[in-house]
A and B are shown apart, each in its own frame.
Chain A
Amino acid sequence: MAKKQIVIDPVTRIEGHAKITIQLDDEGVVEDAHFHVTQLRGFEKFCEGRPFREMPSLMARICGICPVSHLMASAKACDALMAVKIPPVGAKLRVVMNLAQITQSHALSFFHLSSPDFLLGLDSDPATRNIFGMIEKYPDLARDGIRLRKCGQEIIAILGGKKIHPAWVVPGGVSEPLDEERRDKIVAMLPEALEIILRTLDWFKASLKNYEEEIATFANFPTLFMGIVGEGGLLHHYDGKLRIVDSARNIIKDGIEAHEYRKYIGEAVEPWSYLKSPYFKPLGYPEGIYRVGPLARLNIINRIGTPKADDEWLEFRKLDRHAVMSSFHYHYARLIEILYAVERMNEILHDEDILSTHVRAYAAPNCEVGVGMSEAPRGTLMHEYHIDKHGLMKSANLIIATGHNNLAMNRGVLQVAKHYVKGKELKEGMLNRVEAVIRAYDPCLSCSTHATGQMPLHVQLVDRRGTILSELKRN
């Protein structure tokens, strides 16, 4: 039987190095599809022998898109190693930086990477289907995206001294308190961000009717959903415990603490990807498939906790009777989270004690194992560190947001490929849809490859004897 394979390499407008392969049978019908992550960096090994206090700065270098998330999870793991409770204002300041990063990272995913698909069209010319094409055709929208991302990045720089890889988050808290001048500067930036996100939500919601086919097929299937929830089941990206719900929004497991994660999360290895596939242990592999990230977070919470975002959430919930199932709605969920982030930063920065100078606790290492957990833009992040009695690292285990979604991304690629790819007549737009389902998850492959590259999109249908039956190149 002639087996054929389509390779999309690299997947573009995502953050990282990946390819997709699609296997076809001799009729050109899609049989199977895989999403491969092609780089490994070795953080879990090369941290060995280094002082644990270096970890936040080092681990931030896992990823330049969400360095702050790694700072948070890493610093929390270090707090656990020292067994300290960090001063409340130190924690609040960490939360503000984390929300600033949610804002910039979600803006990047939505505007810079995915909006060309929405506005220029999934079938538009690939040569201009990007942020520069947007600047030309929709300058106001492109500017909105650039301004919104800039707002998040500037808040990070105002707090931490630098937009990317700030050194301000440290074991025990943060290294410098906030002063009035800088606080006022941040607060003054928020109204514009609020306006941008509200008008973006308006046009995006109005455009959803154009994507009914994509919504129905973009990884639209039941899975579990997982994430951190704060007190009272409110949305929280920094503090809280893990909750897992099923597709009917029944709570399967609640109140899981960071140090218990291994009881519930297993990691599977597949020979064709550097990215491992975590699964919910009680259901086994691969039945324990679950999703994390903005969509999952909006599916697991009781409510959001800020007024405007709560209104949007109630509307969002109406999309499905139970959990919102289509991964296309990651985009929508991302916008609602930006709205929440802007509202919440404003609230925290108006807290009376926010300028307190007591922002850091000091201690020697007191425990041999520390686990830190936080919600990155793309989902739950877990850092587990083991140290010796001198505080030198013995090993680390990292489960990153994109990893949790690996099983669901693979299944999503298959679903979209089956629906859109008809092997006998390949069209660029079909393959762009296969990539777009991956884009909806906004995978962060620098993170997932803490654990490489670009080659042409070059699709060949080859029969068993190696004769090329059909060929498609994207140049």
Chain B
Amino acid sequence: MSKVRVATVWLDGCSGCHMSFLDQDERLIELAGLVEVVHSPIVDPKEFPENVDVAIVEGAVSSEEDLHKIRVIRERSKILVSLGDCAVTSNVPAMRNPFKVADILKRAYGEMADHNAGTGPSEVVPPLLKRARPLHEVVHVDVFVPGCPPSADAIYYVLSELLAGRTPTPAELTRFGA
């Protein structure tokens, strides 16, 4: 049987959800036999490939680059999993939403700087969106896995169900803020 093509993506999150994925520990060895991780911060291929079976996405949509990426991910993936509270509700990234982007930049690069203080970086770096948004506001999401982060057990359960061709219902294993 050919391996299931899995991608993991990190948008505006703290990487805690990815760390929880790695907390599957020895179960990763078992997974390595069943899935091929075709794209992820922990593997090298840079481009999000075509024909992904399961895309697992951590983090909110906060910059123009995030927005572009999540659209490409949706287009190229059969199942999109919204992993963790930042992806599901926009959680911590959304705490900046009541403030203007300019004020956020001013704090970091104007008030808290000693050399070249000003309005902030503008070359090469992607501009921030006005608001950080949850994934499902921007694209269709198939599976929601709340938690900050969802536990390794919850992630393992979701993956196992998907690999078995079933729709996971992780509500018993994780919840908002878990």
Contact = CB atoms under 8 A, between A and B. Distances in A.
Contact of A42 (B104, B123, B126): B104
Contacts of B149: 64, 164-165
B69 A165 contact: no
A269 B29 contact: no
A34 B32 CA distance: 35
A65 interface: yes
B115 A269 contact: yes
Nearest 4 interchain pairs by C-beta: A64-B16, A456-B47, A268-B115, A457-B46
Contact of B126 (A38, A62, A147, A285): A38
A191 interface: no
A35 B71 CA distance: 26
A12 B46 contact: yes
Contacts of B65: 38, 452-453, 455
A39 B20 contact: no
Given A45-B107, A267-B113, A453 B15 contact: no
Contacts, number: 230
24 contacts: A13-B42, A36-B124, A38-B124, A41-B62, A44-B112, A45-B99, A46-B95, A48-B99, A62-B14, A63-B16, A64-B19, A150-B25, A163-B19, A270-B121, A272-B124, A273-B124, A274-B121, A453-B66, A454-B46, A455-B47, A456-B47, A475-B45, A475-B46, A475-B47
A453 B11 contact: yes
B128 A40 contact: yes
A185 interface: no
B32 A135 contact: yes
Nearest to B39: A454
A40 B66 CA distance: 12
Pick the most buried of A14, A267, A273, A473: most chain B CB atoms within 10 A of its CB: A267
Contact of A271 (B46, B47, B121): B121
Contacts of A432: 44
Contact of B96 (A41, A113, A276, A397): A41
Interface string A254-288: 00000000000011111111101001010001000
Interface stretch (A124-132, A201-209, A212-220, A228-236): A124-132
A272 B123 CA distance: 5
Contacts of A150: 23, 25-26
Interface string B13-42: 111111110110110110010001101011
B121 A273 contact: yes
B5 to A, nearest CB: 12
A236 B113 CA distance: 29
A127 B96 contact: no
Interface residues of B, number: 67
Interface of A: 9-10, 12-17, 19, 21, 34, 36-42, 44-46, 48, 58, 61-65, 67, 108, 112-113, 126-127, 129-132, 135-136, 139, 142-143, 146-147, 149-150, 153, 163-165, 266-274, 276, 279, 281, 285, 395, 397, 432, 446, 451-458, 473-475
Contact of A446 (B15, B25, B112): B15
A164 B149 CA distance: 7
Given A266-B115, A452-B63, A130 B13 contact: no
B46 A58 contact: no
Given A269-B121, A276-B109, A475 B49 contact: yes
B29 A126 contact: no
B157 interface: no
A41 B63 CA distance: 10
Contact of A139 (B29, B63, B114): B29
B29 A61 contact: no
Contacts of A136: 32
Given A10-B46, A453-B11, A163 B112 contact: no
Nearest to B58: A64
Given A10-B46, A271-B121, 12 more contacts: A13-B42, A15-B15, A16-B15, A16-B41, A146-B25, A268-B115, A269-B116, A272-B124, A452-B66, A453-B69, A454-B41, A456-B46
B43 A17 contact: no
A13 B96 contact: no
A61 B10 contact: no
A108 B22 contact: yes
Nearest to B149: A164
Contacts of B116: 268-271
A383 to B, nearest CB: 12
Given A45-B99, A269-B109, A273-B121, A281 B114 contact: yes
A208 to B, nearest CB: 24
B173 interface: no
